[in-house]
Structure 1
Amino acid sequence: MGEQMRRLDAVRERLRPVIAEIAAGTVAREKDHELPFAQVTALRAAGFGRLRLPIEHGGFGLDWESFAEVLIELAAADSNLPQIFRGHIAYVEHILAATPSERRSRWLVRIADGELVGNAWSENGAATVGTNATRVTRRPDGSWRVDGRKFYTTGSIFAEWIDATVDLDGTTVTALIRRHQDGVEISDDWDGFGQPLTGTGTAVFTDASVDEDDVEPFTSRFPFQTAVYQLTLLSVLAGIAAAIERDTVAQVRARTRTYSHGSAERVADDPQILQIVGELTATSATARALVLDVARAVQHAADVLGTPETEDAVIAAELRSAQAQIVLTDLVPRAASRLFDTLGASAVRSGTALDRHWRNARTVSSHNPWIFKARQLGDHAVNGRTPEFVWSVGQAKVLEASTAEH
C-alpha cells in the first residue's frame, strides 16, 4: 500500500462518522432550508479544511487524486457541502503555491487552526464585464477599507475570511476580508432551485477593514486556479451521480408494487429496469473516473509549478477540466431524470426528495457555461489557440456604450 493510500484510508476513517451523520439529515435540511452550520463545524473539527495541507504544517498531506475521492464521497452525502468549501479549497492551493514568506507562514497556521475562507468574486450589479464595482481604498490614517456588494458568495457565511476580488485604482486585486466585523453583512438570499444550502448569497461591505498585507494583485494567483475551482464542481457532480445510483438501487430493491405490463413479476428482476440501473452505474463510474483524471492533471500542474513544464501542465489541467465539465453536464442531469424511469409515480412525491438530484446537478452544471468552453476546446483542437482560463461576468460593454450614446 502506497503512502497516499494510507493517508486516504486514515482520512476516510476519520471522516466516516461525520459524513454518515451529514447524509442522515440531508433531505430534512433541504426541506426546512436549514443551512448546514453544524455540519461545516463538524467537518472543520475533523480537519476537512486542511486535508491538502502538508503533514509538517498540521495537515493530512493528501494529493489531489486522494482529495478528489473525499470530495466525491462528501458530495454523495450532501452535494451542498463540497461547494461550500470551494473557495477555501482554492485559497489553500494559493497559499501552498506561494513562495515562502512571513505571510504564507501566517496563513499556513490559520488554515491548520481550522479557519475557513469563503468566496466573493462575482457581482450582479451594473459593473462592466472584467471590472469590479467593489473597491478597496485608503482611509486618511493609511489603513485600507473595502466598500461594495458581491453576489454568489459561496461559503462566506460559514467562514472567518472572505476572498474578494475588488478594484484598486482601475486594477483588479484580491482582498482577504475578516468575515466577523461591523462592516460586513452577508445574506442567505440565494434563490436558485438547486444547491440551496451553499450560502451563495449577497455580501455587503461598508467601510470594512482589510490588512494591507492581505491585498494582493490578482495576477499573483496560482496559474491553474480555474481547473481547481472546476474540479470541485466536477466532484460535486460525481457525488450526485453516486447518490443517484445509490438511491435508485435502494428504491428498486424495496419496490413491491409492479405493473401488469411489466417484464417480470418482481421489479428487481425486470430486465428493462435493470438496464436503466446499469446505465446509471456506468454514469457514476464515468463521472468518478473523469474527476480523478482531472485531479491527476491538477496534481501534475502543482508538482511542476515554477519549472519549464508549468505552462504545458497548466494548459493540460484546464483543458481536461473543461472536457470533463462538458461530458458530465450532459450525463449527470440526464441520469437524475432517468432514475424516475425505474420507479412508479410514487417516486415523484415530495417526500422522496429524489428531484433534488436533478435540481442540484443542473445548478452545478450552470457554473461557467460549458458551451463557451466547448467552443474554445474546438478552437484549440483545430487552430491550436490556447483558451483564456480566467473569466468574468458583468454588464456587456456594447450595452454600456449604447446607454452612454443615449
Structure 2
Amino acid sequence: MSNIRRITHETEAIEVARQVAEEIAAIAADPRNNGQLPRRQAELLSSSGLTAIGVPAALGGLGASVATLVETVRLISVADGGVGQLLQIHNVMLRGVVSGYPDEVRDRLVADLLAGKRLGNALAEVGGKNKFALKTRVERRADGKLVLNGSKFYSTGAYLAEWISLTAASDDGGVGVLLQRDTPGLTLIDDWDAFGQQNSVSGTVNFEDIVLDERYLSRRNGPMKPTGLTFPQILHAAIDTGIAAGALQAATAYLREHARAWVESGVERASDEPHVIRQIGEYAVALRGAESVLRDAARVFDEHERDPENKALQDELILSVATARAHADSASLNIASDLFSLLGASASLSKWNLDRFWRNARVHTTHDPIRWRLHNVGNYYLNGADPGEYTAILNAKEAQGATRR
C-alpha cells in the first residue's frame, strides 16, 4: 500500500480520525452497503495512518497514548461500530507483537504496520467447554518441525488483515503464533453472518498442517497481569460509546429533517415537542456520562503506564475500565433501540438504515458479559475482593485448558 500518511502528533491523530469517520459514516448510512466487505473502510484506516499510531516512538511510530488510541477508536465507531472494532483489535494485537517476539520479527512487523498493513486475531474457538479449552494445537513432528492444526471463529479483522495473531495449545502450555495471510495451509473464510457488527468480519480461520517458523512463536512468561485485559476492554468501551453517539446523531438529524410532530402536541415540528426534547436530553446525559467515564479511564490508564507496579493504580484502572464498560453498554443499547419511540414508524423503513446502531450495539455488547464486570466491582466494594479476580480466574482456566486435546 502506497501513500500512507505519517501522523506525527496526537492532536493530528484525533483530527484525522474525525475526517476518516465522516467518509466511513457516509458508507455506513447507505443500506446498499450492508453485508458488503468493508474493504474501502479498512483501506481508509490504513492510508490515513491511524493503524500505525500505536507503534512505539522508539520503533518509528507515534507511540500514541492510550487516551488517543481510545478516542480514535471511539470516533471511528461513531461512524460504524464494526469498522471501529477492526481498529480496536488491530491496536490490541499490535501491543503484543511489538513486545512478545524476537527483534527481527518485531522489526518486520513494524515495517509492515508503518506501511499500512493491518493485524487481525484468531483467538476464540467454538464448541469447547470454555474459551480456553483449545483444540487448535502446535505439535512437534518426528522430523523436529512444529506444525499447527485447528480452527478459530470470531476472528475479528482477520479476513482483511496482513498478519494473523492467534493462540494455540501445546504440550508445553499455551503459545502465541503470528502468521502472514499467504502462509500455506492458512485459510481465511468470509462467513461472519451476524445481524450486527457485520464489518468486524469476525469469521473462521483454519490451519492445516502449517509448518511454523519458531521465531514467530511466543510463549507467555508467567500468568497474565491483573491489568492484562484492561486494554482490550477500554477499547471495547470506546466502540460502544461511539455507537451510542452515532445513534444520537442520527436520531436528532431525523427528528429535525424528517419526523412529523404528533397530532396532540400542538407544535409544528417534532423537534419542538416537549416530550421529545426531554427524551433527547436523557439520551444526551447518558451519552455524556459514558464519554466522561471513558475519558477518565483512559487518563487512569496512562497514569498506570507510567507507574505499572503501583497496586493502587492497578486497582483503580480495573475499576475505571469496568465502569466505562458498564456505562457504554447501557448507553449504546438504550439510545440505539429506544430512538424509534421518538422518530415514528417511518423511521423503521430500510432506506433509513437506522437499525444499524442497535444491531451493532446488541451484537458487540455480548462479547464480554457486563454482568460479570458489575460483579467484580460489587465484590470489591462489598467484600473487599481484589479487582483483579477476573484475571486470576482466567489464568486458572487457561492453565487448565492450554494443553488440553
Q: Is the 8 A contact 1:82 1:232 kept in 2?
A: no
1:181-192 to 2 correspondences below 5 Å: 181-192=183-194
Q: Is the 8 A contact 1:53 1:59 kept in 2?
A: yes
Residues 1:179 and 1:56: Cα distance change in structure 2 (over 3 Å): same
Question: CA RMSD for the aligned pairs?
Answer: 2.7
Give the drift of 1:141. 4.1
Residues 1:317 and 1:98: Cα distance change in structure 2 (over 3 Å): farther
Residues 1:9 and 1:373: Cα distance change in structure 2 (over 3 Å): closer
Residues 1:221 and 1:90: Cα distance change in structure 2 (over 3 Å): farther
Q: Does 1:281 align with 2:284?
A: yes
Residues 1:52 and 1:272: Cα distance change in structure 2 (over 3 Å): same
Q: Does 1:267 align with 2:256?
A: no
Q: Does 1:317 align with 2:301?
A: no
Q: Does 1:197 align with 2:199?
A: yes
- Alignment partner, residue 72 of structure 2: 70
Q: Does 1:347 align with 2:347?
A: yes
Q: Is the 8 A contact 2:25 2:79 kept in 1?
A: yes
Q: Does 1:40 align with 2:42?
A: yes
Choose the corresponding residue for 1:175, options 174, 177, 184.
177
Give the drift of 1:218. 3.4
Higher mean Cα deviation, 94-103 or 226-235?
Answer: 94-103
Choose the corresponding residue for 2:296, options 284, 293, 297.
293
Distance 1:43 1:347 in 2: 30
Distance 2:147 2:312 in 1: 39
Higher mean Cα deviation, 254-263 or 61-70?
Answer: 254-263
- Alignment partner, residue 361 of structure 2: 361
Distance 1:7 1:178 in 2: 30
1:5-404 to 2 correspondences below 5 Å: 7-28=9-30, 31-95=33-97, 101-126=103-128, 130-169=132-171, 171-219=173-221, 223=225, 224-255=227-258, 257-305=260-308, 308-309=309-310, 311-386=311-386, 387-389=389-391, 391=394
- Determine helix, strand or coil for the equivalent of 2:267: coil
Gaps (5+ residues) in structure 1? 1-5, 398-406
Deviations 1:143-184 (A, max 9, x none): 322100111100111111111110110511111122222311
Give the drift of 1:256. 5.9
- Alignment partner, residue 403 of structure 2: none
Deviations 1:194-238 (A, max 9, x none): 101211111110012332122112346873341111112111111
Q: Is the 8 A contact 1:264 1:271 kept in 2?
A: no
Q: Is the 8 A contact 1:122 1:393 kept in 2?
A: no
Q: Which amino acid aligns with 1:275?
A: R
TM-score, length-scaled by structure 1 = 0.87
Aligned length: 388
Give the drift of 1:95. 4.4
Distance 2:156 2:395 in 1: 16
Gaps (5+ residues) in structure 2? 1-7, 401-405
Q: Which amino acid aligns with 2:345?
A: A
Distance 1:247 1:9 in 2: 26
Q: Which amino acid aligns with 1:51?
A: I
Q: Which amino acid aligns with 2:319?
A: L
Give the drift of 1:27. 3.1
Deviations 1:74-99 (A, max 9, x none): 11111111211333211222345569
Q: Which amino acid aligns with 1:354?
A: L
Q: Is the 8 A contact 1:97 1:302 kept in 2?
A: no
Give the drift of 1:392. 8.8
Residues 1:316 and 1:44: Cα distance change in structure 2 (over 3 Å): same
Residues 1:300 and 1:263: Cα distance change in structure 2 (over 3 Å): farther
Q: Is the 8 A contact 2:241 2:287 kept in 1?
A: yes
- Determine helix, strand or coil for the equivalent of 1:85: helix
Q: Is the 8 A contact 1:291 1:324 kept in 2?
A: yes
Percent identity over the alignment is: 29
Give the drift of 1:389. 2.0
Deviations 1:219-266 (A, max 9, x none): 468733411111121111111111112111111111363222125232
Residues 1:110 and 1:154: Cα distance change in structure 2 (over 3 Å): same
Distance 2:145 2:136 in 1: 17
Q: Which amino acid aligns with 1:373?
A: R
Residues 1:277 and 1:177: Cα distance change in structure 2 (over 3 Å): same
- Alignment partner, residue 400 of structure 1: none
- Determine helix, strand or coil for the equivalent of 1:20: helix
Higher mean Cα deviation, 378-387 or 197-206?
Answer: 378-387
Give the drift of 1:13. 4.0
Distance 1:206 1:131 in 2: 19
- Determine helix, strand or coil for the equivalent of 1:336: helix
Distance 1:353 1:261 in 2: 28
Q: Is the 8 A contact 1:153 1:200 kept in 2?
A: yes
- Determine helix, strand or coil for the equivalent of 1:243: helix
Distance 1:24 1:171 in 2: 46
